[in-house]
Chains A and B, each alone.
Chain A
Amino acid sequence: MTLDAFLLLAAALFSVGLYGALSQQSIVMLMMGLELMVNGIVVAGGAFWYYIAPGAADGQVLVLVAVTVMALEMAMGFAVVTALFRARDADLTDDAEDLRG
């Protein structure tokens, strides 16, 4: 129950999410990877609040912002996937790389 243990857990969740985000072909699965990464951030935020600065509520606000960012990212991600699916009838990341240089 030390700070390092919590941060290692956060790092583990972050890297599992990173693996998922990099390796998955479907945009929706890629978003699952992003969710897992933000999950790691939430753990880190809570641990920093408890072990480093419990006096101020900044750690808690960070966790709130992380949870909100995750939800808004999900909403926008699904909107993009729906628009893409309607326009191009596929949700694979390979088809969605028009912006690539």
Chain B
Amino acid sequence: MGLTAYAAGRPSALLVGVPGAAAVRLAAEAEVRRLGWASASSPASASVLVVCGDPGPSLAAAIDAAWNGVPSPRADVRLSSPGTVRAALADVPATLADLPGQRASAVTGSWRPPAAAEPEHGHGHHMTGAVHGLAMAERADDRDGLKLDVLHLPFGPVLPYWPDGLQIRMAVQGDVVQSAEAAFLDPSGPDFWDEPGARRRAAAHLDALARLLGVAGWRAQAERARLLRDAALDGTPAATLLPRATRFARRVARSRTLRWMTDGLGVHARLLARLDATTTALAHLDDPEPLPPEPDVLGVLPSLLAGRDLAAARLIVAALDPRP
């Protein structure tokens, strides 16, 4: 079928990073950019799910939940090391284009909420107020004096511009966060960003900046930050790297709209601090200083997020950029 092949020619990729395997994610992002694939922000618009690294058990469960939401024709790519990225992504269009295979493997069942799926043992287990197997939202008090429904939203691992492997469970009333708990899903061993070297330090800051700019809705500058990060890592000489970095830093720092949107949350100060850290790191490429260890961000996050609305909460998480 011409249409399926044409569609498979440039699929839409949903990338999922695994904590500790950032190198694989960087290689995958570079390859997706080289191939010109579209980047999906949710399973509904994705046709290929790219898992960068070997996820632990709970992260794998979250990835499977997202994978079940991807409609076919779909492809699931598991990357274990940066070397295998090019080959693995090269044959994705072939798997997407073979219509009979996709039609055979297409899932058509309907999702049942877990609680209802379990066999009911006795009447004790019956959930009060459950409708079609899922509970109705409960009410809770609010700073505004209106007792209205609270939704429990996990901002989890499979989300655009989100730190790898982090999951924040927020209790949200309307779009204001009432309470939040943050945790890393199976935090693994040594982190890719902890190795010494100014290039690695600058790349770490640029990666965090890309996420912050993406959450702030400035996708063009987020991609430029990622380009700079990859250039810093693969040894571009300082002569070409520094002017590009200073131009990027000046444009982002001077944006009045960005300052207006991130003022008052402490996000703008942190953004400027990261920009300065990047430019100084790139200015002295030889000093072997590794990335300074982060203070306990996960502990302070819940108190920072309570009372903020969702957009501000996402900006704060992207500004702090917790690492496992």
Contact = CB atoms under 8 A, between A and B. Distances in A.
A and B touch in the complex (CB under 8 A): yes
Interface of A: 82, 85-86, 89
B145 interface: yes
Contacts of A82: 146
Contacts of A89: 147
B143 to A, nearest CB: 12
Secondary structure type dominating chain A contacts: helix
B25 to A, nearest CB: 47
5 contacts: A82-B146, A85-B146, A86-B145, A86-B146, A89-B147
Interface in B130-171: 145-147
A59 to B, nearest CB: 42
Interface in B147-199: 147
What is the interface residue range for chain B against chain A?
under 10
Contacts of B146: 82, 85-86
Secondary structure type dominating chain B contacts: loop
A86 B146 CA distance: 5
Contacts of A86: 145-146
B233 to A, nearest CB: 55
Contacts of A85: 146
Contacts of B145: 86
Nearest to B139: A89
A76 to B, nearest CB: 18
Contacts of B147: 89
A82 B144 CA distance: 11
Contacts, number: 5
A72 B146 CA distance: 23
- For the complex of A and B, the 5 pairs showing the least CB-CB separation, nearest first, are A86-B145, A89-B147, A86-B146, A85-B146, A82-B146
B144 to A, nearest CB: 8
A68 to B, nearest CB: 28
A67 B248 CA distance: 53
B173 to A, nearest CB: 14
B114 to A, nearest CB: 32
B261 to A, nearest CB: 29
A82 B145 CA distance: 10
Nearest to B141: A89
Nearest to A89: B147
A86 B141 CA distance: 10
B141 to A, nearest CB: 10
A86 B145 CA distance: 6
B321 to A, nearest CB: 39
Interface string B96-127: 00000000000000000000000000000000
Nearest to A87: B145
A84 to B, nearest CB: 11
A89 B147 CA distance: 7
A85 B139 CA distance: 13
A85 B145 CA distance: 9
Nearest to B145: A86
A100 to B, nearest CB: 25
A89 B139 CA distance: 11
A86 B143 CA distance: 11
A67 B147 CA distance: 32
B147 to A, nearest CB: 6
Interface string B210-233: 000000000000000000000000
A82 B147 CA distance: 11
A27 to B, nearest CB: 15
A57 to B, nearest CB: 43
Nearest to A86: B145
Nearest to A82: B146
A86 B147 CA distance: 8
A45 B146 CA distance: 40
B288 to A, nearest CB: 60
Nearest to B148: A85
A85 B142 CA distance: 13
A34 to B, nearest CB: 23
